[in-house]
Amino acid sequence: MKVGIVGGGQLARMLVLAGYPLGLEFRVLDPAADACAGQVARLIQSHYDDEVHLAELAAWADVVTFDFENVPAAAARILAQQSVVYPPEEALAIAQDRLLEKTLFWELGIPAPTFSTVDSLEELHDAALRVGLPAVLKTRRLGYDGKGQQVLHNAAELESAWEALGAVPLILEEFVPFEREVSVLAVRGRGGETAFYPLVDNQHRDGMLRLSQAPLTAPALEQEGFDYARRLLERLNYVGLLAIEFFVKDGHLVVNEMAPRVHNSGHWTLEGAETSQFENHLRAILGLPLGSTAAVGYSAMLNGIGDLPERAAVLATPGAHYHAYGKALRPGRKVGHVTLWATDPGSLPAGLERLQALTTG
Amino acid sequence: MKVGIVGGGQLARMLVLAGYPLGLEFRVLDPAADACAGQVARLIQSHYDDEVHLAELAAWADVVTFDFENVPAAAARILAQQSVVYPPEEALAIAQDRLLEKTLFWELGIPAPTFSTVDSLEELHDAALRVGLPAVLKTRRLGYDGKGQQVLHNAAELESAWEALGAVPLILEEFVPFEREVSVLAVRGRGGETAFYPLVDNQHRDGMLRLSQAPLTAPALEQEGFDYARRLLERLNYVGLLAIEFFVKDGHLVVNEMAPRVHNSGHWTLEGAETSQFENHLRAILGLPLGSTAAVGYSAMLNGIGDLPERAAVLATPGAHYHAYGKALRPGRKVGHVTLWATDPGSLPAGLERLQALTTG
């Protein structure tokens, strides 16, 4: 079967590598000639609004999917005219727009931060009063990895924040003083069957994910997370893998955002789960039976941001697995990750310390 | 780093897929335009004695390796002039010739069947007396998967066997009435460090491997196997993965043959070991630290010969993983395998029965 992927970054690359053993063929569409998934599958170099190339991909593929959610709505529509497209267009549209996303969370009874839309400096002042400070000012669209957002601590910061971000529609969101951040990776098949990976503990710095650890043993939180994920999967008639990021506050989950795709906080599943998130996303969109999402052992995933630690030093670390994405090194860019895997969770901290020393050294 | 692979079958394909996360690039050389590794890496379509293409591969690659052992000795020499080649040429030369191979086993004190060379019908009669019947008549070179061999039960069969095989040098080998067949997968790095996968239990039919199960809990046998493997690795100054097949007779190992490459009886390591045989072969030939060869859970690997069971039915089997090679279906051809993985070995038989019913149904 033929799978088209819009977006040719590391997520597409790992989907492709997971899909070859299933007997699948792939083409990826990306504007960049050096898109890293193009090293492992045929690349259609094309802008996301190029109807001719989108139609070419759709005509070839049995199913089309995405490695990022900011695909123009028009592109998704063109693809859907000639092929089967998963996740559904509505899920993409909602995930692209923080206002739609938060509205959906509230509609489904999923606790989310208070927020207010902001389209002028005046509205920002009003919103700051309503939401309270500190608060987070975010662009409604195209934000990722902490880009397009700013934390506001006091009223004196409003004007400069407005000047930095206000060219586009914004929302102001309650700042959640969280105890930790976690994510749920959920998958739903074409027939409506669902499966959930164990809860993941995430640590961010400067808006980017640095470290994920799984499984996080927190049964009550996990049940909350699975419940919220199930509501989203069903409401969206979702097919594929859906990632949902949460804050933990006062021992309960507060939703942050969702991503309608495989997710950085699920990379540990390559070694640490019976079926990886990549394989399960493919199984779901192709109508194949889902695989077990059970954890195998204990995993920690360290992102390589801007650079990767020296390969030989990583591989000399017991339990370490190296994942280069084939991307040129650039500050702030995710160029690979390292997974640390162990049967005994007690051995993870020492290995992590060693890997972190390599990363910053 | 750049890795060239001579031979573009499923072993090359799985090496490539294991190597991308390590940040490696690949080219494969194979005479067939549809060589299945060519779906996942750039293919140089070329005969194995084509000096121009061999030199092109060697000039490009940092290291060259093989997905089968019957590479002409001249080809290995041409490659070695321009690149680093592992496993060493001597290991290939010995594995290509049953006489050299058996001589080495005897030299190293590794129990092997009695044998005698056969270059005429008269020598076959003499050999039958010396070795005794039943015995196995084999071509000295180019035998694999039971091809180029015949079991002789009585003197009346000698002449027809000679007519069938006698156009090339042969050996007659004592028939070993074995209790079971096992294999050792051993790996040695550039610095001489070694690692050994747990013992594998193998079942053949019509000369082809059908089922591997690992780990086989048989500590005494395993220690014998590791000891013999270590002798071979050191004597050959071996670098890479070496597979050695044994018979078990009277509770001890009798060597059958070796393969200087990744091996069908090691495919279970993709899910069932901390580091797969494919990744460890690459780590070894690149001078990278070897990964742990410890088993994770319990695995059974079923070969897909001529065909593969229906994908959805396989994936609906708990613990099953599907590995298609992207090859055209043809009777007697290895086109894929299925691994059954479990944390509890007691659950394997039921799953295996289900998979075997799919395979033959």
The correct answer on CATH 3.40.640.10 for the domain covering A114-174 is: no
Q: Which residues of A touch B316 (CB under 8 A)?
A: 289
| pLDDT < 50 positions in chain B | 361
Residue B343 at interface with chain A, using a CB cutoff of 8 Å: yes
Per-residue pLDDT, B248? 98
Q: A interface mutation test: which of B3, B10, B16, B22 has the most A CBs within 10 A?
A: B22
Q: Is A283 on the interface with B (CB under 8 A)?
A: yes
Chain B residues with beta carbon closer than 8 angstroms to that of A267: none
Contact B343 A296 (CB under 8 A): yes
Sheet-wide strand order for A42-45: A42-45, A25-30, A2-6, A63-66, A84-85
DSSP secondary structure letters along B265-313: GGTTHHHHBSS-HHHHHHHHHTTPPPPP--B-SEEEEEEEESS---HHH
> Which of B25, B319, B323 lies nearest to residue A21, judging by beta carbons?
B323
Picking from B40, B291, B296, the nearest residue to A20 by CB comes out as: B40
- On whether any CB of chain B is under 8 Å from the CB of A324, the answer is yes
Cβ separation A324–B22 shorter than 8 A:
yes
The whole-number pLDDT of residue B73 equals 81
Whether chain B has a CB inside 8 Å of the CB on A177: the answer is: no
The amino acid that residue B91 corresponds to is A
Taking a C-beta distance cutoff of 8 angstroms, is the pair A9, A67 a contact?
yes
| Min Cα–Cα distance to chain A from B267, Å | 12
The first and second tokens of residue B87, run together, are 């496993």
C-alpha distance from residue B342 to each of A119, B44, B269, B296 (Å): 55, 39, 13, 9
- CA A278-A293-A280 angle, 5° bins: 25
What is the CATH code of the structural domain delimited by A180-360? 3.30.470.20
Q: pLDDT at position A361, please?
A: 45
- Find the residue in B nearest to A279 (Cα): B321
What are the pLDDT digits (tens) for A309-321?
Answer: 999 999 999 999 9
Calpha distance A90→A151 (Å, rounded): 29
Distance from CA of B232 to the nearest CA of A (A): 25
Number of A to B CB contacts under 8 A, please give it: 77
- In chain A, list all ranges with CATH 3.30.1490.20: 114-174
Strands A298-305, A208-214: pairing is antiparallel
Residues of chain A with CATH 3.30.470.20: 180-360
Judge: B311–A292 Cβ closer than 8 Å, yes or no: no
> CB distance B39–A20 less than 8 Å?
yes
Measured in angstroms, the CA of B282 and the nearest CA of chain A are apart by 12
Phi/psi at B112 (5° precision): -135, 155
3-state helix, strand, coil split of chain B in percent (to 5) is 35, 30, 35
**For position B360, what pLDDT does the model report?**
61
* Both structure tokens of B263: 């091996």
Boundaries of CATH 3.40.50.20 in chain A? 2-85
Q: Is A354 on the interface with B (CB under 8 A)?
A: no
Q: Is the dihedral of CA A111, A112, A114, A115 positive or negative?
A: negative
Query: A25: distance to nearest CA of chain B, Å?
Result: 9
Interface test with A, best of B16, B20, B327, B338 (most A CBs within 10 A): B20
Question: Is the CB of residue B23 less than 8 Å away from at least one CB of chain A?
Answer: yes
Whether chain B has a CB inside 8 Å of the CB on A326: the answer is: yes
Helices in B83-137 by DSSP H: which ranges?
89-95, 98-107, 121-131
Provide the percentage of residues in chain A whose pLDDT is more than 70.
98
Point out the residue among A21, A39, A318 whose CB comes nearest to the CB of B322: A21
Q: Cis bond leading into B87, ω under 30°?
A: yes
Residues of A in contact with B286 (CB under 8 A): none
Q: Is the pLDDT of residue A242 over 50?
A: yes
Residue contact A23–B324, C-beta within 8 A: yes
For residues A333 and A314, the answer to whether their CB atoms sit within 8 Å is no
Torsion, Cα B348 B294 B336 A325, to 10 degrees, reads 130
Q: Is B324 on the interface with A (CB under 8 A)?
A: yes
Please answer yes or no on whether A20 and B17 come within 8 Å at the CB atom: yes
Over residues A79-94, the pLDDT tens digits come to 999 999 999 999 999 9
More confident residue, A294 or A359: A294
pLDDT at residue B90, as a whole number? 93
Task: Please report the pLDDT score of residue A74 as a whole number.
Answer: 87
Please list every residue in chain A whose beta carbon sits closer than 8 Å to the beta carbon of residue B318: 292
Rounded-to-integer distance, Cα B252 and Cα B84, Å: 37
Q: What is the mean pLDDT of chain A?
A: 95
Whether B27 and B44 have beta carbons less than 8 Å apart is answered as yes
Report the pLDDT value the prediction gives residue B135, as an integer from 0 to 100. 94
The pLDDT tens digits of the residues spanning A140-193 come to: 987 666 678 899 999 889 899 998 887 789 999 999 999 999 999 999 999 999
Work out the minimum CA distance from B15 to partner chain A, whole angstroms.
12
Q: How far apart are CA B247 and CA B257, in angstroms?
A: 10
CA distance A219 to A187: 19
Q: What pLDDT, on a 0 to 100 scale, did the predictor assign at position B70?
A: 86
**Contact criterion met (CB < 8 Å) for B23 and A318:** no
CA distance A246 to chain B (A): 29
Name the residue facing B315 among A289, A315, A319 (closest C-beta): A289
Does residue B283 sit at the A interface (CB-CB below 8 Å)? yes
B68 has a chain A CB within 8 A of its CB: no
Question: Beta partners for B165?
Answer: none
Tokens 């390590």 correspond to what residue? B22
Q: Which of A270, A283, A61 is nearest to B20 (CA)?
A: A270
Residue A338 has a pLDDT of 98
pLDDT band at residue A124 using 50, 70 and 90 as cut-offs: very high
User: Which residues in chain A belong to E strands, given as ranges?
Assistant: 2-6, 25-30, 42-45, 63-66, 84-85, 115-118, 135-139, 149-152, 170-174, 180-188, 194-196, 200-205, 208-214, 240-249, 252-259, 298-305, 320-324, 334-342
Q: Please state, in angstroms and rounded to a whole number, the distance separating the CA atoms of residues A282 and A11.
A: 12
Distance (Å) of CA A288 to CA B86, B286, B314: 40, 37, 10
Q: Which CATH architecture does the domain made up of B2-85 adopt?
A: 3-Layer(aba) Sandwich (3.40)
C-alpha closest to that of A43 among A78, A82, A5: A5
Q: Tens of pLDDT along B156-194?
A: 898 999 988 877 899 999 999 999 999 999 999 999 999
Side chain identity at A69, as an amino acid letter? E
* Residue B193: CB atoms within 10 Å: 11
Does A20 lie at the interface with B, CB-CB under 8 angstroms? yes
pLDDT, mean of residues A254-282: 98
Residue from B213, B345, B339 nearest A275 by CA: B339
Q: Is A191 on the interface with B (CB under 8 A)?
A: no
What are the C-alpha distances in Å from B355 to residues A20, A193, B12, B324? 21, 23, 26, 15
Q: How is residue B303 written in tokens?
A: 């070969």
Asked if A255 contacts A239 with a C-beta cutoff of 8 angstroms, the reply is no
Give the H or E element holding residue A122. helix A121-131
- Chain-chain contact of A312 with B288 (C-beta, under 8 angstroms): yes
CA atoms within 13 A on the CB side of A269: 30
Contact between A259 and A69 under an 8 Å Cβ cutoff? The reply is: yes
**Chain B touched by A106 (CB under 8 Å):** no
Segment 116-145 of chain B within 8 Å of chain A by CB: none
* B positions 32-51 inside 8 Å of A (CB): 39-40
C-alpha span between A306 and A59 (Å, rounded): 37
- Test A40 with B23 for CB contact under 8 angstroms: no
A323–B21 C-beta distance less than 8 A: yes
